[in-house]
Structure 1
Amino acid sequence: MESADRAEEQRDWTDGHVEQWLPVLPGLDPVVEGAVTRMKKLSVHLQRVREQSLVDFALDRPEFDTLHKLAGRGGTATPSQLATDLDLAPASVTGRLDALERRGFLRRTPSTTDRRRVHVELTESGRATWRGAMDMLGDEESRVLGALSRGEQEALNDMLRRIMVVAEAR
């Protein structure tokens, strides 16, 4: 009950938004409008933090995405695997890899079994840069979700899953 009392005392931007629109749209469901608007606002907030982390680590979005996909494959991949993961043409990946290699974030080595193939490997510098950008966003996610107890976080996760199952079914 204490958390319900706290929620009633605390107001956010969305409370004013809902109050503004209720007289204009009498059929507006304030609970649905509040939940959807808060999800959108939180998503925008986290996107801003993500973009700031890229600025702080001197990465552009394509560079980060490439490092992220490479890290997600354990730090090694072929250019064709990365092209598939990034949904890009192989020539586009080559340009990204060239730039990241110049910055020392990855290295390319010829395959020992097929001289036509190349392996891409994340360097320590590349891993540290990717991790730094990831940690900045993760810290903010933990901070904002820290407003909830662990049980509340689990309940929120379960409720959002149920919502996404419906959204993805369309």
Structure 2
Amino acid sequence: MADPLPPRDATDDHVARWLPVLPDLDPDTEGAVTRAMLLSRHLRRTKERSLAASGLDRHEYDTLHKLAGRGGRAAPSELAADLGLAPASVTGRLDGLERRGFVHRTPSAVDRRRIDVELTDAGRAAWREALDAVGDEEGRLLGVLSKEERKQLSDLLRRVMLVAESS
């Protein structure tokens, strides 16, 4: 008895539609790239929904995320570098986050001319609420793979990203 065909997804239909048009199309490359793009789009939509539900704008979440990634305390210039923004842009973001009670500014313990930004408990809670919703969806999606398969996928994607990052 022959093995049953694996389930098909929308990308299988996409590849089947393009193969007659582009006979030299590598179906595995097209399939991998298309699935990566669709997965990225799905996770971006999930993030947008979780941000809306938590009452955060994307720029607020991104700023809180970078601040949390620095242990909850950083100089505005460090946040600007992490976000790839001009310092003046970060100042505006921090003003809004401070008004909402998500961060507060304190004099630096190392340099009196500098201030540091600290994540408040409310800021950490808002960030975690949005982060957890996205993390839950990532876990749901990748939960169809075993721990070994997830590691293999991560390792394979690392190899591809190393090439992308080298150009």
Q: Find the partner of 1:78 among 34, 52, 75.
A: 75
Q: Which residue of 1 aligns with 2:148?
A: 151
Question: Residue by residue, what CA displacement relative to the aligned partner does 1:123-153 show, whole Å, maximum 9, x if unpaired?
Answer: 0010011011111111111110111111111
Identity %: 65
Q: Distance in 1 between matches of 2:80 and 2:36?
A: 32
Q: Find the partner of 2:19 among 18, 22, 44.
A: 22
Q: Which residue of 2 aligns with 1:165?
A: 162
Q: Please give the TM-score of this superposition, normalised by the length of structure 2.
A: 0.91
Q: Distance in 1 between matches of 2:116 and 2:163?
A: 40
* Residue identity opposite 2:6 in structure 1: E
Q: Distance in 2 between matches of 1:69 and 1:113?
A: 21
- Give RMSD over aligned pairs: 1.6
SS state of the match for residue 24, structure 2? Answer: coil
15 and 120 in structure 1: CA distance in 2 versus 1, 3 angstrom threshold: same
Q: Give, in angstroms, the shift of residue 110 of structure 1.
A: 2.5
Alignment of 1:102-113 (within 5 A): 102-111=99-108
Q: Find the partner of 2:45 among 39, 45, 48.
A: 48
Q: Find the partner of 1:63 among 60, 65, 72.
A: 60
Q: Give, in angstroms, the shift of residue 87 of structure 1.
A: 2.2
Q: Give, in angstroms, the shift of residue 89 of structure 1.
A: 2.0
SS state of the match for residue 130, structure 1? Answer: helix
Flag structure 2 segments of 5+ consecutive residues without an equivalent.
none
Q: Which residue of 2 aligns with 1:87?
A: 84
SS state of the match for residue 109, structure 1? Answer: strand
SS state of the match for residue 147, structure 1? Answer: coil
Q: Distance in 2 between matches of 1:153 and 1:145?
A: 7
Q: Please give the TM-score of this superposition, normalised by the length of structure 1.
A: 0.90
Q: Distance in 2 between matches of 1:111 and 1:158?
A: 40
Give the stretch that moved more between structures: 111-120 or 55-64. 111-120
Flag structure 1 segments of 5+ consecutive residues without an equivalent.
none
* Residue identity opposite 1:141 in structure 2: E
Give the stretch that moved more between structures: 32-41 or 80-89. 80-89
